[in-house]
Amino acid sequence: MIEARGITRTYQTYGAFTGARTVHALRGVDFTLPDGGAVSFIGESGCGKTTLGKILTGLESFDGGELVVDGVELSGLKPHQRAKYFRRIQMIHQDPYSALNPTRTIASILGDPLRMRAKETGADATTRRERAAELLTLVGLEPDAVLPKYPHQLSGGQRQRVVVARALTVDPTVLIADEAVSMIDVSMRLGILSLLRDLRARLGISLVFITHDVATARYVGDDGELHVIYRGEVVERGLTDEVILAPVHPYTQCLLSAVPIMRGLEEPGPDRTAPTAALDERAVTPGCLFQPRCPFAQDQCAEKHPVLVPLGDGAGDGSGAGDGAGFAGGEASEHLHACFYPEARRVVGVEVGAASA
Ligand SMILES: Nc1ncnc2c1ncn2[C@@H]1O[C@H](COP(=O)(O)OP(=O)(O)O)[C@@H](O)[C@H]1O
Ligand SMILES: [Mg+2]
């Protein structure tokens, strides 16, 4: 089980033209991932999704908040102690082309981590070879055909399956899939998504599913929670279907309208939203982060910052909700939103691409 409380990550950057800038990649992200469960994060490019994935796998540090894995708060641990917890959390990256060493065969790509693992399991060479074959079968590949090949001899979809098999060599408890199908040919996406669903069901692995695409989040994380991130902040969360079918935050509504979910997986719609990264951090008002682009913003949206509150608790100003309501004990699945004007709306054809004011 993973519990993230108030995870914050800030980067100081310096650009020749932009000067010194502070980038708030994540602003207080809270979530609970139960054993065998799924939680999805959705948001446009630059909203902090990969940063979150890297933090959860120990590839990136964070500067605020707590990360609790199987009951142990990790920031208090020394790096080598922490590594033990992160090893069972594996990340599937976006790009299966750069994830595999092009000069090594699949047998050797899977053999290395299995040999490392053998220090614990004591598996001999024959057992390891059998395990490699077993893992390839599990991810839907034909071991005899694939083991002697090099990555370039495989399709993108096959490569991503090898990446998944490699992640499975350490018997992970959690898989983090970061835009795992976005660079794969559309015809093969559904297969990879079903594989991820399957692994959850068959191996009891829990899944953090990161995407910019509503349809894939719905497909993979349908029984889990969906968190909608805007500029590093979760602005709406709840059961996946509840958020997708009855979104109340204008940003979620814009996301849904930009990528029509009815189109189906084979044909994702063009992403019409402007990347978050294109927005200037300095243009942020003290109010709602989405306010400069929000078609429904009113005066107070520019002045006060709405926090996540349960739906039906009135304005998203924290009043009546208590501090951090909805996170107590990780009681998940309440529909929460950070908007002063939560409302069921249909956003049809609204262009939200008008970048920073
Ligand atoms: N190492 C880094 N140094 C500086 N800024 C970074 C770094 N990594 C990410 N960022 C910034 O943090 C924000 C979130 O990035 P990222 O997590 O990659 O978003 P996403 O995966 O949602 O596209 C972006 O504005 C990005 O430019
Ligand atoms: Mg990313």
**Which strands form 89-92's sheet, in the order they lie side by side?**
89-92, 174-178, 206-211, 38-42, 225-230, 233-239, 336-337, 309-310
Best residue among 7, 9, 11 to mutate for probing ligand 1, ranked by most atoms within 8 Å of CB: 11
Tens of pLDDT, residue by residue over 68-122, are 999 999 988 888 888 889 989 999 988 888 999 999 999 999 999 999 989 888 9
Nearest ligand for residue 48 CA: 1
- The per-residue pLDDT for 284 is 54
For residue 60, the ligand 1 atom closest to its alpha carbon is 1
Q: How far is the CA of 236 from the centre of ligand 1 (A)?
A: 21
- The per-residue pLDDT for 282 is 47
Q: How far is the CA of 12 from the centre of ligand 1 (A)?
A: 11
Which of 217-221, 283-287, 333-337 has the weakest average pLDDT? 283-287
Q: Is the pLDDT of residue 277 over 90?
A: no
Tokens of residue 343, six digits = 């409302």
Residue 315: which pLDDT band, with cuts at 50, 70 and 90?
A: low
For residue 47, the ligand 1 atom closest to its alpha carbon is 22
Residue 319: which pLDDT band, with cuts at 50, 70 and 90?
A: very low
Q: Ligand 1: which residues within 6 Å by Cβ?
A: 11, 13, 23, 25, 43, 45-51, 277
- The per-residue pLDDT for 14 is 85
- The per-residue pLDDT for 307 is 93
| Cross-strand partners of 69 | 2, 72
Domains of the chain: 2-88+172-337 (3.40.50.300), 104-170 (no CATH)
Q: Is the pLDDT of residue 275 over 50?
A: no
- The per-residue pLDDT for 271 is 39
Residue 196: which pLDDT band, with cuts at 50, 70 and 90?
A: very high
Tens of pLDDT, residue by residue over 342-355, are 988 876 544 434 33
